[in-house]
Amino acid sequence: MKFVVIKRKWLTLLALVLTVGCVSWYVSDTDVALTNTQPNQQKLVINLVTGEFSSKTEDGQEIESYRWDPGTIMIPKGEEVALSIYGVNGKEHPFFIEGTDYKGVVKKGEETVLQVTFDKPGIYRLICTTHARIEDNGPMIAYLIVD
């Protein structure tokens, strides 16, 4: 009769190799299944809000400024994007996107959704016409960077 002696470190190594192999197989198989079942047609939604800053100067004068938040947005070229803008501060903000035909109005307590697609890369400015300059409590300008 012959006995085979298997050392504990060999059993541990074998168990480790089998565990890594099983985990690798499971993860790769799961990734394929998830990739095949997830929809690829989700539209990009970018959320903005209207904001206001106010302060007093040293002589007590009240100053304020309105802005879009966030102030800089990245948009993929050629992809349809929904700009969802919620009015938080200010009664209303009529706006346009420079170099395009896109325009609208954001009212306090309401959401304005604008469907946009940019075919040319570049920087487009989202400008509130009420607050376009410092003298009008602005400039309320966001930068849409299309790449």
% of the chain surpassing 90 pLDDT:
69
| Rounded-to-integer distance, Cα 99 and Cα 124, Å | 7
Cβ 117 vs Cβ 46: under 8 Å? no
pLDDT of the residue at 43: 87
Cβ 82 vs Cβ 102: under 8 Å? no
Mean confidence (pLDDT) of the chain:
85
What does the DSSP 8-state code read for residue 5?
-
pLDDT of the residue at 38: 44
**pLDDT tens column, 37-89:** 445 567 899 999 999 999 999 999 999 999 999 999 999 999 999 999 999 99
Q: Dihedral (C-alpha) 7, 12, 17, 20: value to the nearest 10 degrees?
A: 180
| Rounded-to-integer distance, Cα 84 and Cα 44, Å | 10
- Helices and strands (H, E) in the chain, number of each type: 1, 9
Q: What is the pTM of this model?
A: 0.69
* Structure-token pair, residue 105: 């109005």
Of 90 and 7, more confident: 90
Backbone angles phi, psi at 30, to 5 degrees: -65, -40
pLDDT of the residue at 81: 96
> Would you say residue 102 has pLDDT above 80?
yes
> Would you say residue 110 has pLDDT above 90?
yes
| Rounded-to-integer distance, Cα 7 and Cα 85, Å | 67
